[in-house]
Chain A
C-alpha cells in the first residue's frame, strides 16, 4: 500500500512539475527496483518489508507484466509508423482541425495529390448552397456531405412523393410526404455526422436570394423550372458567386460553371430567355431515365469539389452535354454575350 501511494505521488508530482513521461517512467522503475532490492537484501519479517506488502515473487511478476505490455505497445506503434510511411503523401498533423475519426474518414481524399490535407481543410471550411433536392440534388447533396463539405444549405419547397423515388435516391419510401429538405438532411447526416446541413423548406424567392446567397461560397442549381434557374443565375451574378448549373431531360444532361466575376459567361449569356413552350418539357411530362440525374448530379458534386480545392480545370466557360442514350460527352466552349441583361455590368477583376 505504501509503495502504491509513493508511486501515485511520483506520477502526480511529475505531471504537476511538467516532467517528461519518460522521466516519470524511469522514477517508477527505480521505485520498483528499490522494493525488489529491499526484498532481496533485508531479512524476512522486517518492518519495511511488511510496509511494502506482498512478497518478492509478486513484485517480480508485476515487473514482467509491465515489460510485456510496454513491449507490445512499442511493437504496435512501430508497425503503425511503418504503415503510414509507406503512403507517399505527407500525413497532416492530427492537431489540425480534424479529429482522428475525420482524418480516417477523409483518408482517400487526403492521399490525392490534388486534394491533400489542405484541400480537405478547404472542403471543411466551404459553404455550398444547393437549390433543389430532387434528381440532381440527390447525388450532389450526398456526395458533398460524404466529401466533408462543412456547411451545406439546401432549399426546396416540395415534399417526397412516390414518383420521385425512381431517381431521387436521397429520399426513401418511408419518408414519402416529408419535406424534401428534411428528408435530404436526414440522409446526409446519417451518411456524415461531421457536416452541418441547413434545410430551407421553401421556394427560393427574389426577395430572399441576396441574403441567402451571401451566406455561401458556391451555388449549385439542380432546380426543375426556368423561373428558378433564371432567378438563381441573377442572384449568383449579383452576389459574385460561382454557379454550377445542371439540367436534365429524358436521356440528356447539361452541366456548366457560370462565373462572370472571373470573366466566364453567366447562364443568361447562353440561355437569355425561357425556351418556347414544348421545347423543354419538365421531367413529369417528358420522362427521365432514372440514372441520368445520378450521373449529372454526381458530376455537379465533382465540379464543386474541384472548385473548392482548386484541383484540375473547372468547367468555367464550357458547357458539357452528356448524352446517355448514345453514350457521348460533348463540350462546347462558351463566351460572354455583349449586352447580357444579367451580367453585362460585371467587370472581372484583374
Chain B
C-alpha cells in the first residue's frame, strides 16, 4: 500500500506504526503522528497502518 511518510509517498508492507518505524530505519527516540494526531511511543505497536495514511516521524532538532 501507499502511505505518506514525512510528506513523501512511500510503498510499505508494514501493518503497524512500530513495524513502519523499524522498516524505515528509525530509532526509538522519535515522535510519531498518524493523520495529524500524535501517537505516543507506547501505542505504536497497536496503531495500524492503512492505505493513504499520513505518517510523521519527528526527530527533535537542535539547531537554532
Q: Which residues of A contact B (CB under 8 A)?
A: 132, 134-137, 221-226, 229, 246-249, 252-254, 270-271, 273-276, 279-280, 282-283, 286, 288, 293, 319, 321, 323, 326, 328, 330-335, 337
Contact = CB atoms under 8 A, between A and B. Distances in A.
- Decide if the interface of chain A is mainly helix, strand, loop or mixed: mixed
**What band does the interface of chain B fall in when counting residues whose beta carbon is under 8 Å from A?**
10 to 19
Contacts of B63: 135, 224, 247-249, 282-283, 286, 288
B64 A132 contact: yes
Which of B37, B61, B63 has the most chain A CB within a 10 Å cutoff?
B63
6 closest Cβ contacts across the A-B interface?
A247-B61, A271-B60, A224-B64, A332-B33, A222-B64, A283-B63
B59 interface: yes
Contacts, number: 94
Nearest to B34: A332
A275 B64 contact: no
Nearest to A328: B7
Given A247-B64, A248-B63, A279-B27, A333 B40 contact: no
A279 B64 contact: no
B64 A246 contact: yes
- Decide if the interface of chain B is mainly helix, strand, loop or mixed: loop
Given A135-B63, A249-B61, A254-B61, A275 B38 contact: no
A224 B63 CA distance: 4
Interface string B1-17: 00000011000000000
A271 B60 CA distance: 6
A276 B30 CA distance: 9
15 contacts: A135-B64, A137-B64, A224-B62, A247-B62, A247-B64, A248-B64, A270-B38, A271-B60, A274-B60, A275-B27, A276-B27, A283-B64, A330-B56, A333-B33, A333-B37
Nearest to A331: B36
